């Protein structure tokens, strides 16, 4: 029954599979799994009997062509990675085993997290075996074979010196995450500062060179890249796993129309592979063994899970885990809009900031905070400017000196450092919340630009006769003050650096779990272009109203 593609496998894999196939025929377990074994034989026999002249499903096509196209990852260490010309990893070895069980050759097609489902639906692959979590949202598009072949929680890792032990500690911590992972929803709720990466290697590179404080990914990958025995020494010496959450089963997927044919054979093969400990053995080879595999071996070596007709007892199977965003109240309208764009212009963009409940909430919050931040930054810029001017004409020399020093330093300091300084001072006095972060950002941006406005006012005062009013100084340097106000509006997104939940932050959060970047960045760019243009136009009106009529000179 078991046919191996010997050339494609390593010596140890072959040996393992030989032992497994031996066990399949002689052990008491073989008796337990007999219905599954018979079901596989019957299914393959039935499909082969139809012949190759009238191919009706993918399983027949696979058997007739002698090859199965399997979508696999090529950049996911220990699971599917291309080294030189060779693909290696847990999933690659298991894919070879499945092909061998079907008696065909495995043809590997590289897929990514973003295109694996599309490749399957479009018929470019027959089976996807590519680190894919089983969720109801994906289940609606493709069929996941069960039992699942693997499961992994999301693990958070970081420097050993950082004291972080739960999701609650992630507030305002910079966190590198994979783009489009549903686990990011929980991380964004914790108000971590999210940096996204579409390939795991780039993410770990970013952790190595300090772009982020922590990294969150499937534990399977964190083990081999950062913390486990097979991780590079430079990584495991510096970093450790802080905590993990949300274990999700990984499934292989076939097209819905292949559920009862190819899907069923794959499910039966996987149940046997669990029962005989083959998946544990392959996982050991690649350093990714988890307790899930041990539990599944227990389950699938139990005869009670196999029904007489080759189906499984439903209580032995794990359900898909709901992780995606729930539909928003306006999701229907935006789904229609997305479909209209797709049908008429072939634009296949998603709008998760409108169609998802969490997405919409984050988006609206982001816009409100951004508008408030821009207005607050403008007001604080003007107030700081006037304050510096007022202090510069104080009768006390010490006040004048201090004002001059603070004004010069604030005016010439990088805004990021001013933000961090304000953040440190404010968070030492108040409990650091989103509101406090907005106030801190408004103060820092206002100080930076207000100092420039104050400097202009002080210089303007020097050109005026003694005893002139402050309004006269404002009228003389209204152009410079206007430039400071525009700069304050432009600088407001920098507040994201200290965890202020403005539009850049919230759209980054939405992108992190939806994977939709083009629509999010287009909206972000449009929003800021419009708001800055609005500030330019309104400040121009205000400047025209304030400026002195030609020929009129301010007097004491």
Partner 1 sequence: MLDHLFGFFQALTVNFRLGLVALLIGLVLGLLTAVIRCRADGVSARFIGFLIGVLRAFPVYVLMFVAASLFSTMSLSNEYGAEFSASIAVIVALLAYTVSACSDACVTFLNFRARGQLAQAWLLVPNVFQIFVVTVMASSIGAALGVQEAVTFTLSLAQTYETRIERIGLIISVIVFFAVILMSSKFLAARAIHSILRRGKPSL
- Site residues, partner 1 (CB under 8 A): 161, 174, 195-199, 201-202, 205-206, 209-212, 408-409, 411-418, 420-421, 424-425, 428, 486, 490-494, 496-497, 504, 508, 511, 517, 521, 524-525, 528-529, 532-533, 536
Q: How many CB atoms lie within 10 A of CB 131?
A: 24
Handedness of CA 545, 547, 552, 556 (dihedral sign): positive
Q: Do residues 18 and 276 lie in contact, with contact meaning Cβ atoms separated by under 8 Å? A: no
Least distance from partner 1 to the Cβ atom of residue 199, Å: 7
Q: Which two tokens stand for residue 187?
A: 């991380």
Backbone torsions φ then ψ of 440, nearest 5 degrees: -60, -45
Question: Helix, strand or coil for residue 249?
Answer: strand
Least distance from partner 1 to the Cβ atom of residue 373, Å: 12
Q: Do residues 355 and 326 lie in contact, with contact meaning Cβ atoms separated by under 8 Å? A: no
Q: Quick one: DSSP state of residue 552?
A: -
Give the nearer residue to partner 1 in terms of CB position, either 76 or 144: 76
C-alpha 244 chain-centroid distance: 16
Output the 3-class SS for 480-548: HHHHHHHHHHHHHHHHHHHCCCCHHHHHHHHHHHHCCCHHHHHHHHHHHHHHHHHHHHHHHHHHHHHCC
C-alpha 404 chain-centroid distance: 46
Rg of the chain taking only CA atoms, in angstroms: 31
Least distance from partner 1 to the Cβ atom of residue 450, Å: 15
| Nearest alpha-carbon partner for 127 in 65, 62, 180 | 62
Contacts of 521 (CB under 8 A, 6+ apart): 507
Contacts of 354 (CB under 8 A, 6+ apart): 328, 330, 331, 334, 360, 363
Least distance from partner 1 to the Cβ atom of residue 84, Å: 16
Question: Helix, strand or coil for residue 147?
Answer: strand
Give the nearer residue to partner 1 in terms of CB position, either 416 or 548: 416
Least distance from partner 1 to the Cβ atom of residue 119, Å: 17
Helix 291-300 × helix 262-275 angle, to 10°? 100
Give the nearer residue to partner 1 in terms of CB position, either 198 or 335: 198
Least distance from partner 1 to the Cβ atom of residue 244, Å: 24
Backbone torsions φ then ψ of 66, nearest 5 degrees: 75, 15
Helices (H) then strands (E): counts for the chain: 24, 11
Give the nearer residue to partner 1 in terms of CB position, either 8 or 235: 235
Least distance from partner 1 to the Cβ atom of residue 387, Å: 19
Give the nearer residue to partner 1 in terms of CB position, either 415 or 481: 415
Give the nearer residue to partner 1 in terms of CB position, either 417 or 538: 417
Least distance from partner 1 to the Cβ atom of residue 90, Å: 23
Give the nearer residue to partner 1 in terms of CB position, either 134 or 490: 490
Q: How many CB atoms lie within 10 A of CB 183?
A: 22
Least distance from partner 1 to the Cβ atom of residue 79, Å: 18
Least distance from partner 1 to the Cβ atom of residue 459, Å: 12
Per the DSSP assignment, residues forming a β-bridge with 214 are 175
Least distance from partner 1 to the Cβ atom of residue 242, Å: 16
Sheet (strand 143-159) strand order: 105-110, 67-72, 127-128, 239-254, 143-159, 214-218, 174-178, 193-197
Give the nearer residue to partner 1 in terms of CB position, either 73 or 274: 73
Give the nearer residue to partner 1 in terms of CB position, either 201 or 339: 201
Least distance from partner 1 to the Cβ atom of residue 102, Å: 34
**Distance from C-alpha of 51 to C-alpha of 481, rounded to nearest angstrom:** 82
**Distance from C-alpha of 262 to C-alpha of 260, rounded to nearest angstrom:** 7
Least distance from partner 1 to the Cβ atom of residue 441, Å: 12
Question: Helix, strand or coil for residue 220?
Answer: helix
Q: Which two tokens stand for residue 406?
A: 């603070």
Give the nearer residue to partner 1 in terms of CB position, either 31 or 402: 402
Least distance from partner 1 to the Cβ atom of residue 240, Å: 17
Give the nearer residue to partner 1 in terms of CB position, either 417 or 471: 417
**Distance from C-alpha of 343 to C-alpha of 352, rounded to nearest angstrom:** 19
Give the nearer residue to partner 1 in terms of CB position, either 331 or 487: 487
Q: How many CA within 13 A on the CB side of residue 234?
A: 5
């Amino acid at each position: 029954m078991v046919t191996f593609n010997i050339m494609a496998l390593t010596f140890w894999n072959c040996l393992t599979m030989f032992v497994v196939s031996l066990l399949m025929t002689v052990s008491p377990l073989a008796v337990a799994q007999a219905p599954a074994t018979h079901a596989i034989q019957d299914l393959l026999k039935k499909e082969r009997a139809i012949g190759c002249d009238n191919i009706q499903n993918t399983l027949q096509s696979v058997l007739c062509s002698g090859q199965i196209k399997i979508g696999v990852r090529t950049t996911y260490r220990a699971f599917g990675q291309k080294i030189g010309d060779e693909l290696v990893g847990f999933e690659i070895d298991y894919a070879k085993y499945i092909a061998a069980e079907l008696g065909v050759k495995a043809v590997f097609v590289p897929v990514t997290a973003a295109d694996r489902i599309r490749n399957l639906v479009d018929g470019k692959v027959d089976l996807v075996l590519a680190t894919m979590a089983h969720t109801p949202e994906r289940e609606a598009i493709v069929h996941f074979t069960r039992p699942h072949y693997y499961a992994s929680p999301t693990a958070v890792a970081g420097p050993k010196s950082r004291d972080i032990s739960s999701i609650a500690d992630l507030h305002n911590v910079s966190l590198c995450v994979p783009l489009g992972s549903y686990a990011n929803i929980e991380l964004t709720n914790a108000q971590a500062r999210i940096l996204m990466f579409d390939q795991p290697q780039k993410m770990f590179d970013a952790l190595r060179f300090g772009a982020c404080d922590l990294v969150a990914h499937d534990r399977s990958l964190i083990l081999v890249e950062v913390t486990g025995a097979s991780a590079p020494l430079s990584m495991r010496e510096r970093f450790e796993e802080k905590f993990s959450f949300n274990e999700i089963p990984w499934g292989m997927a076939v097209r819905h129309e292949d559920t009862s044919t190819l899907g069923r054979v794959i499910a039966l093969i996987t149940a046997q592979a669990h029962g005989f400990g083959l998946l544990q053995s392959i996982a050991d080879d690649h350093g990714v063994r988890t307790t899930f595999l041990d539990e599944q071996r227990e389950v699938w070596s139990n005869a009670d899970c196999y029904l007489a007709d080759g189906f499984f007892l439903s209580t032995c199977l794990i359900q898909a885990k709901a992780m995606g965003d729930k539909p928003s109240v306006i999701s229907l309208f935006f789904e229609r809009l997305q479909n209209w764009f797709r049908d008429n212009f072939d634009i296949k963009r998603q709008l998760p900031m409108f169609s998802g409940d969490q997405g919409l909430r984050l988006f609206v919050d982001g816009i409100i905070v951004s508008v408030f931040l821009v207005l607050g930054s403008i007001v604080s810029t003007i107030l700081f400017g006037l304050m510096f001017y007022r202090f510069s004409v104080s009768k006390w020399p010490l006040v004048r000196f201090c004002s001059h020093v603070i004004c010069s330093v604030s005016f010439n300091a990088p805004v990021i450092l001013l933000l961090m300084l304000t953040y440190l001072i404010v968070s030492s006095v108040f409990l650091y919340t989103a509101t406090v972060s907005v106030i801190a950002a408004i103060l820092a941006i206002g100080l930076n630009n207000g100092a420039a406005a104050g400097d202009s006012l002080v210089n303007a005062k020097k050109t005026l006769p003694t005893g002139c009013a402050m309004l006269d100084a404002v009228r003389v340097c209204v152009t410079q003050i206007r430039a400071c106000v525009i700069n304050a509006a432009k600088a407001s997104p920098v507040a994201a650096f200290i965890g202020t939940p403005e539009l850049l932050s919230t759209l980054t959060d939405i992108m992190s779990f939806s994977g939709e970047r083009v629509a999010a960045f287009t909206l972000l760019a449009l929003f800021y272009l419009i708001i800055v243009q609005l500030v330019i136009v309104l400040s121009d009106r205000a400047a025209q109203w304030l400026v002195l009529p030609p020929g009129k000179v301010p007097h004491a």
